[in-house]
Structures are given as structure tokens and as C-alpha cells.
Amino acid sequence: MSAKPCSLPAIKRSTVLKKDVTVNLPLKPLLTKRRANTAIVYCEGNFAALDGKTANGLVRSSEKYRILSVIDSEKAGLDTGMVLDEKNNGIPLCRDLADALAAAGTVPDYFIFGMAPSSGMLSLHERSLILEAISHGMNIVNGLHEFLNDDPIFIAACEASQVEILDVRKPRAKKDLRMFSGRIAEVTCPRIAVLGTDCAIGKRTTATVLTKALNDCGIRAVMIGTGQTGLIQGARYGVALDAIPSQFCVGELEATIVEAFENEKPDVIIIEGQGALSHPAFSSSSFILRGSCANGVVLQHAPKRKHRCDFEKMLIPAPESEINLIETFAETKVIGLTINHENMIDVEVTAAITRYEKELGIPVTDALTRSPKHLIDMVMAAFPELRVSLPTAA
């Protein structure tokens, strides 16, 4: 299914002027809502790129929203699955909001801002676009550090259109934030953190695939989201660590893991990683290792990536270096390596798997291009007690 460029019928507009910002609003919503939890994702100029990781993740997996289309004028008319994974998924790329609404045939329930720029802030054009989506009667999902519910312009627009904004990264009030308590010791099932050698390298994707693979084979697994994309995708348990004051990061993660353990009674808990422990620009990996007291780590690495994302003068570390750092920093073991195959052909992925298994002495696979059985075997080798959870074990 490919999106064909199209336009909406002309409608009369009124102009609203607030705080020197001019916004064009329709006099009434163009179409009528019909189906719950449908969404358009905005990812202009970044789909299938590093800063488009929220949109990329939602196209691959979303428990909370049914994604109708992704807005990126540079790839309009293409299928998102083909662009991302060379597999058709029927979710088109559209030129703009008008194109996406026409392709949907109805006003979706949500407009999701699907990019994760390093600034964490909206441009003036993006502000106007979100206000236009609100005017059509769409709720907004915002994963940025800029909280739109604190902005009088967005507050007024939401009241006028009777919609809401979900500021995914906004933490609870400071008086309600939790400190580390030591209760992580009460979590008796294995806790596996999926870390990486860089940011935006596929940690969340691998954690999602691993969690599903374990559940599919009869092992009860729960994933803990630690960033905005995982929470937007529908993770039942999680916290956006990079938006929480550092004093509370470890405690908030610990409390979330304890809640998941007590409520779900899982056989294993998978914790999504953030940044990289060796990366000087991020501290989230240290909070994840401390708060989860992970029993094991799966490390994600991109063999063809030479420099840190957004830092061209910083070389990406070798897996062996990151493994040594992780195992020195925390009382844990790296149980396997997973490959991000960006800029690689299949024969190169196979060669990388063979080379790293020989060099590191641990299982290696690619969560997206290889069978999920390899991920299950990786976990079983490190935690053989999980075999009793398998339906065939009896």
C-alpha cells in the first residue's frame, strides 16, 4: 500500500493570534472520529534515521496505537515497512498533515510527535503544526522535554477543541518521586538490561523483540521502558529516566521494577537501556545498572558505525571495551551481543556474528534479521533455571 499525494477540500479558516504566534485554525473539525487509538506520526525528514527513532519504533511495534501513516515529505508515497525493514506493512509515508488526513479518511484520535532531537524542543513550524492537529480534534502525544501542558497557547487550543496533550516525559511531582530503598532484592526473577555501545543504536528494539520472543515460547517476560518511545509504544511499566532529577532516577526505576514483579509475577524482567555507559554525554546507563541491579546484560552494537551519534569526533567503542566497563561498574555479566545491521548486507552480518562470537566467547545475533530463537538460547544459556517455565519442561 503506497500513499498517493492528495489534498483536503478547501475550508474556511479563522486566524488566532496569541503571543506573536499566528495559527490558522479551521472553524470546525473537518471529519468525524470513528475509531479509537488511531494515530498519525510526524517525522519530517527523519524517518528511518537516528532522530526518527520514535516513529521507527512505532511502525515496528505499538500496543497502544494503530498507526495509520507517518509524515515525512522526503519519502512520501513509500511504504514505511519497506523503507525501514524492506518488508511491506501497509503504513504509508505522507507528504504533510493534509495528505495524512486524506489517506486516513477520518480524523485519527492522536497526532504523535515521532522525533527525538537532541535539543528536545519544538521549532516554530512544529508548534504551528501541532496546533493545527489540535484544531482538527486530534489528541497530542509529545515525547519531548518541552512540556506542552505548561504552555498557555496549547492549553487554550486543547480547551477549544476538547482534546488533551500527553507529555510522556513529564515526571510526577518531586514530593512523589521515590528514592532507592533496597527492595530490588525482593525481585527474585532474573533482570536483564539491554545496553549499548552508543545512543540510538537499537536497544529498545532488541528489548522489545526479546520480550516478545520469551513470552511466545512460554516464559513470562515483562519489559520496563526507560524512555519516551517505549512508553508511547505502550510499555505497561516504565519511567522516562532522562527527565527525572538524578537523585531520584535509581529509586524510580527500582520502584517500577518492584511494581512489575509484584503485579505480573514474571519469570524474567527485561529493562530497556539508554545511552551508553561509556558515553560522556549520558548518565542513564549507570542509573539503569544501579536501579535494576541487573543479573545479566545484553549489549547492542553497530559494527559499521564509526563515531558516536551526534559526536563525529568521538569514536564508538569496541564491544570488548564496553563489556569490560559494564562488568567493572556493576556486579553483572554481559550474556550476549546483538548486532545493529545499519549499513550492512546480510553476509556482513553473518561475518560479524561469527567474528564476535570467537572474540568475545558469548552468543551473538541480530534481533531483526535472525530467528528470535537465538535470543531465547542466549537467555537460557545464562539462566538455565528458566527452562522450568517452558510448557514442554514438564
Nearest to 53 by CA among 174, 196, 170: 196
CA distance 24 to 47: 26
The reported pLDDT for the residue numbered 119 is 73
**CA–CA gap between residue 221 and residue 367 (Å, rounded):** 16
The answer regarding whether domain 13-167 maps to CATH 3.40.50.720 reads: yes
**Do the domains spanning 13-167 and 175-388 agree at the CATH topology level?**
yes
pLDDT in tens, the chain (394 residues): 334 333 333 333 333 333 333 333 333 344 444 445 999 999 999 999 989 999 999 999 999 999 999 999 999 999 999 999 999 999 999 999 999 999 999 999 999 999 987 777 899 999 999 999 999 999 999 999 999 999 999 999 999 999 999 999 999 999 999 999 999 999 999 999 999 999 999 999 999 999 999 999 999 999 999 999 999 999 999 999 999 999 999 999 999 999 999 999 999 999 999 999 999 999 999 999 999 999 999 999 999 999 998 899 999 999 999 999 999 999 999 999 999 999 999 999 999 999 999 999 999 999 999 999 999 999 999 999 998 777 764 4
Domain borders along the chain are: 13-167, 175-388
Distance CA 148, CA 166 (A): 8
Q: How many CB atoms within 10 Å of residue 343?
A: 10
- List, in sequence order, the alpha helices (H) in 143-245: 152-161, 203-216, 228-233
Task: Find all residues with CB under 8 Å of 90, minimum gap 6, and list them.
Answer: 1, 79, 81
Per the DSSP assignment, residues forming a β-bridge with 338 are: 300, 365
What pLDDT sits at residue 392? 60
Q: DSSP string spanning 226-287?
A: -SHHHHHHT-SEE--GGGS-HHHHHHHHHHHHHHHHHHH--SEEEEE--S-TT-TT--HHHH
Q: How far is CA 43 from CA 47, 50, 165, 206, in A?
A: 6, 11, 18, 22
CATH architecture of structural domain 175-388: 3-Layer(aba) Sandwich (3.40)
At 165 the three-state DSSP class reads strand
Per-residue pLDDT at 118: 72
Phi, psi of 12 (to 5 degrees): -75, 140
